[in-house]
Chains A and B, each alone.
Chain A
């Protein structure tokens, strides 16, 4: 059993002791200290190009070999695998992604990402939070951190997950209010935002709730009841959302046919279009999930099918962000929880592979057309020395650090968790080569 590199600092103990003595508890984000932290965040580097993030999460773990890291003609590849040239000089990608190839001058690839998690759920946690699962703490996902560190005057949730699987992004120790707002195929209006009864009846219901039942409940009870429950506050926010014009951004039905066609007539394509619309009205983070990448059997045809959905959507996403002048302020992050084995198993599948897989980034100050890290076309596959088969590797947390840095967020700052233990927002290192 090896040591967990994500937990290499004993120094949090000293602060923990001090903070415990100071009597911090569950509501620490409301304490003066947390306020100071929040103000410090307001002063974080200004002028950072990026303001928002779109995460394209490939649930199941996509094969790097048939997407962004092909090694055609090698033993590790399928016979049919071909690579095509792209708009970025010397960057070859799979021939199943021809439309993305046209945008590779705006997209960069990190081809030797490493993690220690080979199980879907644990690895999904790792890729979404930048931390390995910790039984004593739930870490916030990328979008939750971005929302926690910024203030906006938006009437709809600022953290949205479209087509989420079982592991939607969470607020973790930052609080449930930073959980992603979950929604599904944006071909129509989103559920639960329309009162089930006529306006006048709805108003009466709310009136009775606030003026009769809530008043009675608060009588002789805890001082500052709503500060604890946030009940009235969240009802007010929910009502504001229900009447907001910005809700339209969730629905793609009013987009022009040509734009819809660009993204592809699929739930994922429509969701990518909705993501652009949401970013346009001020949403900070949208995660769109494309599932079906867990190709333990018949990898070749399954990945080809997924690429047919991915290719137009990803390409149109970049194109539309550019057209609407949003690309410079929006980071697009593409990846799954891990990659797939360089070897093909007996049933034509590839298994889980966290030891060198690809993540793609674009926009928001990330330079396009660059490639970091390299996987061997002829890996030795020595179980005890997996790093021998890759060059210039980096860790999942480094991707997080880079994205947060590009957003102008001081990711090394420590936030106080509800158990009084300070945690850095990310423990990774910035991949400067993507930014300079």
Chain B
């Protein structure tokens, strides 16, 4: 009898050791398919081919260096690999890296790590899902939208598929503007039906579509022209001698491209009536002809007005299109756009920020290759600067990207990081379905309470009291730090290693993606050893680890990008 019991215990211990081995040591992560260590190296060769990505990166960096020099700003040093890995992971997947991923990354040779890590993240389905959710806010807003004719889930899945396949960005946008058919079978059509007005038989709203098209795809806010002409020269349309202040007609003629668009049981189609409006001071409504507000020479004949508009918006010579995209992807990477506000980029300016036009030109020349753009930003000097330096960092350094700007993480990034940090292995598409469902439900509830930022997502924000209460005392933090060998890292760490130094290190890696400093290590090791607090407050090692986790999760470092 005893022998059987002993055998059972031995099997359990062996099982735990096997899991521990898998979680803490073994590299379960495959080499990314697109991993190309010499990607940016060609620029160093005597005659790099035109359009070479290494050459673009070199020019991008030199534009920034000249800019910093002209402003006489000190430049923060390069951040360490793990800090950059955390930034990239937050930007591309919305969570911090897992301990498992950190270990795999550290096995790659130092000069290839950034390339390996970027490739690893870009190939993860978490990336396309996360980016699709973020981009959808700009394309269809954050509102629940009209019931039945609008399917956000379908739209986001479609967008995620496009990102995963790296479909050229111009094609994605063309599909959104010009798609026909039912919103379920042709998910891009939800761009149109998101504006359907339930009080008007679900017909799409041309005015909202015109405003949305200008903001999301051209980076231009012309919404105010809906009501009146711009008499003060703030909305300038047209180039060079054609430049003029925006007029009400500019807005409504753009809206007129969506005039014939209708929604019925057969989906979105183009058989409706032409667009009519009543201009300010006019007596009655009039039919408005479709006309683009600038660069009219780029308009070509196509089957439908929407197709015509889609081709014009995405025309390689229509510069605002690539600029708007660069500004948005930059913002997704840094938490702050290059040109602020994100969708109010002047049509012509001699004061664009460094790298802006260069990235836009490269994006156009590459056939609107989103992955290439993301890789360029990830490898650039601004993205790899530290947010620490030996000189005093001021707002001026952050504004000029001479130090990495601190930005508050979005609620879903905090929730995702919190759940990821409480697990040692990666919670991606391959994670157990029960874990993923739990993660989905907990994320939604947390985001609701933390405060969803909606569509307006790149404004400067500070922390709030309800957020602190939620992090200090809330259920999710309590659940995710409490004793639970299946779900929680604290229990696993306590089970798998008895050395306090190791336990502190793994806790830091899982939450803050770094190792503790010497002072921190010494402090927390003594906390873990001294479980009899000297004041009669006896804690178990498990409790001491929970306290450590709580402390790390409640830090500025955890809820800010840095």
Contacts and interface: CB of A to CB of B under 8 A. Distances in A.
Interface in B453-499: 454-456, 459-470, 472-475, 477-478
A245 interface: no
B231 to A, nearest CB: 6
Given A3-B226, A157-B465, A195 B472 contact: yes
A204 B223 contact: no
A192 B280 CA distance: 52
B353 interface: no
B517 to A, nearest CB: 6
Contacts of B228: 7-8, 10
A47 interface: no
Contact of B227 (A7, A157, A213, A352): A7
Contact of A225 (B252, B277, B474, B556): B556
Contact of A121 (B144, B197, B392, B537): B144
Interface in B220-245: 221, 223-224, 226-232, 234
Contact of A229 (B393, B456, B560): B560
Interface string A281-294: 00000000000000
A213 B141 contact: no
Contact of A4 (B226, B232, B275, B392): B226
A196 to B, nearest CB: 5
B393 A205 contact: no
Contact of B234 (A13, A121, A122, A222): A13
A235 interface: yes
B149 to A, nearest CB: 12
A3 B284 CA distance: 12
A223 interface: yes
Of the four ranges (under 10, 10 to 19, 20 to 34, 35 or more), the interface on chain A belongs to: 35 or more
Nearest to A219: B388
Given A193-B469, A193-B473, A121 B551 contact: no
B126 interface: no
Nearest to A123: B199
A209 B403 CA distance: 25
Interface string B204-226: 01111001100100000101101
B550 interface: yes
Tell me which of A219, A229, A242 has the highest count of chain B C-beta atoms within 10 A of its own C-beta.
A229
A194 B475 CA distance: 11
B552 interface: yes
Contacts of A192: 466, 469-470, 472-474
Given A135-B215, A222-B398, A208 B523 contact: yes
Contact of A200 (B205, B466, B470, B533): B533
B462 A228 contact: yes
B451 A176 contact: yes
Interface in A151-199: 157, 166, 175-177, 179, 181-182, 191-198
B394 A223 contact: yes
A220 interface: yes
A354 to B, nearest CB: 8
Interface string B505-532: 0000000000001011001100100000
Contacts, number: 219
B197 A7 contact: no
A213 B560 CA distance: 14
A196 B551 contact: no
Interface in A195-245: 195-198, 200-201, 204-205, 208-209, 212-214, 216-217, 219-223, 225, 228-231, 234-235, 237-238, 241-242
A33 interface: no
A134 interface: yes
B539 interface: yes
B463 A231 contact: yes
Contacts of B552: 213
A14 interface: yes
A236 to B, nearest CB: 9
A231 B463 CA distance: 6
Contacts of A49: none
Interface residues of B, number: 95
A213 B551 contact: yes
Contacts of B231: 10, 13
A2 interface: yes
A230 to B, nearest CB: 4
A225 B394 CA distance: 10
B524 to A, nearest CB: 8
B556 A217 contact: yes
A221 to B, nearest CB: 5
A16 B234 contact: yes
A229 B555 contact: no
B133 interface: no
B387 interface: yes
A118 interface: yes
A27 interface: yes
Tell me which of B221, B229, B230, B555 has the highest count of chain A C-beta atoms within 10 A of its own C-beta.
B555
A346 interface: no
Interface in A14-29: 14, 16-17, 25-27
Tell me which of B275, B398, B403, B537 has the highest count of chain A C-beta atoms within 10 A of its own C-beta.
B537
A337 B153 CA distance: 27
A418 interface: yes
B473 A214 contact: no
B389 interface: yes
A201 B543 contact: yes
B253 to A, nearest CB: 13
A138 B533 contact: no
Contacts of A200: 533, 535, 537
B461 to A, nearest CB: 6
A27 B408 CA distance: 14
B408 A135 contact: no
A181 B279 CA distance: 43
B143 interface: yes
A17 B510 CA distance: 47
Nearest to B560: A229
A223 B393 contact: yes
A118 B224 CA distance: 22
A135 B279 CA distance: 21
Given A214-B555, A217-B556, A241-B465, A2 B278 contact: yes
A13 B211 contact: no
A234 B559 CA distance: 13
Contact of B463 (A166, A196, A217, A229): A229
A279 to B, nearest CB: 20
Contact of A118 (B199, B226, B474): B199
Nearest to A11: B232
A190 to B, nearest CB: 9
B475 to A, nearest CB: 8
Contact of B275 (A1, A8, A136, A205): A1
Nearest to B522: A212
Given A3-B227, A209-B555, A177 B464 contact: yes
Given A7-B227, A229-B556, A418 B459 contact: yes
A308 interface: no
Nearest to B235: A13
B124 interface: no
A119 interface: yes
A76 interface: no
A419 B278 CA distance: 30
A182 B464 CA distance: 13
Contacts of B555: 209, 213-214, 217
Tell me which of B198, B232, B275, B344 has the highest count of chain A C-beta atoms within 10 A of its own C-beta.
B232
Given A195-B472, A209-B551, 12 more contacts: A13-B232, A13-B234, A121-B143, A179-B464, A208-B523, A212-B524, A222-B387, A223-B394, A238-B469, A241-B465, A242-B473, A419-B459
The 4 closest A-B pairs by CB, nearest first: A26-B460, A118-B199, A230-B462, A220-B388
22 contacts: A1-B207, A1-B252, A2-B277, A4-B227, A10-B231, A13-B231, A26-B459, A118-B198, A121-B144, A135-B141, A135-B223, A193-B469, A196-B473, A204-B537, A205-B550, A205-B554, A208-B547, A212-B524, A223-B392, A231-B556, A241-B469, A242-B469
